[in-house]
Structure 1
């Protein structure tokens, strides 16, 4: 038995929470390594997004974005604005207490074409942007510094 792996809820609950800072995100730039989303196989993501998920304990954020890509709402918005089929921009923004909103835009001044209320999160940053670009085969999620 590996004693390094917590095996009771109490031990797991006492693990030190990962940390994530905005400065950490600046350390990521162009990389060829990709991770494939396990449920939406059309979605891949960069080491920077993987780092956010791991250190920010936010795999749920990748899951949320991946669940919207290809959804009925997404396809309807893309039919109205073809830019969405090539690239769009996701933002997670924390608000009152532990609430947040996740939204996607075709471009900066545009209104969101997808919005999701997050009732609870302990995500360590007040705001994060994740960009999504389509290469004809996959949607790649990446940090702005990785563009």
Structure 2
């Protein structure tokens, strides 16, 4: 656990520095994350968010939809996660009863790259 609180503005600045990735980090089977997504998970201690994305993305058939968007919004230590098809249509969602996620919102992308899914920050797309 992080003993010092995360400065949300500093975290957003740090995340904005990721503009591509050097490596796909395997999380599960055919689910990977980029350097930026890994940094977010480590810095904000939110591997649970990637677990949530993975658990929903596994039910999406790549032939039908090779691109998804996860939008997490946080208010009063509760959150709502919605996974969209990239055109604003929700394909999955989940309510989170408690979170200490340090940002009021975050957006992640997940794309099929032929061998698996890769989750990334929008700036890495």
For this pair of structures, how many residues does the alignment match? 123
RMSD between superposed Cα atoms in Å: 1.9
Is residue 31 from structure 1 mapped to residue 21 from structure 2 by the alignment? yes
Instruction: Decide which of 20, 29, 37 is 1:49's aligned counterpart.
Output: 37
Shift of 1:31: 1.8
Shift of 1:69: 1.7
**Whose radius of gyration is greater, 1 or 2?**
1
Structure 2 CA distance for aligned equivalents of residues 46 and 111 of structure 1 = 24
Give yes or no for contact 2:82–2:94 (8 Å, CA) kept in 1: yes
Query: Higher relative CO (CA 8 A, sep ≥ 6), structure 1 or 2?
Result: 2
Instruction: Decide which of 96, 100, 103 is 2:79's aligned counterpart.
Output: 100
How does the TM-score come out when normalised to structure 1? 0.75
Displaced runs of 4 or more, over 3 A: 17-20
Gaps of 5+ in 1: 1-11
Instruction: Decide which of 32, 39, 55 is 1:67's aligned counterpart.
Output: 55
Structure 2 CA distance for aligned equivalents of residues 17 and 55 of structure 1 = 11
More helix by percentage? 1
Counting only pairs closer than 5 Å after superposition, residues 116-135 of structure 1 correspond to structure 2 as 116-135=94-113
Shift of 1:70: 1.6
Shift of 1:107: 1.8
Shift of 1:32: 2.6
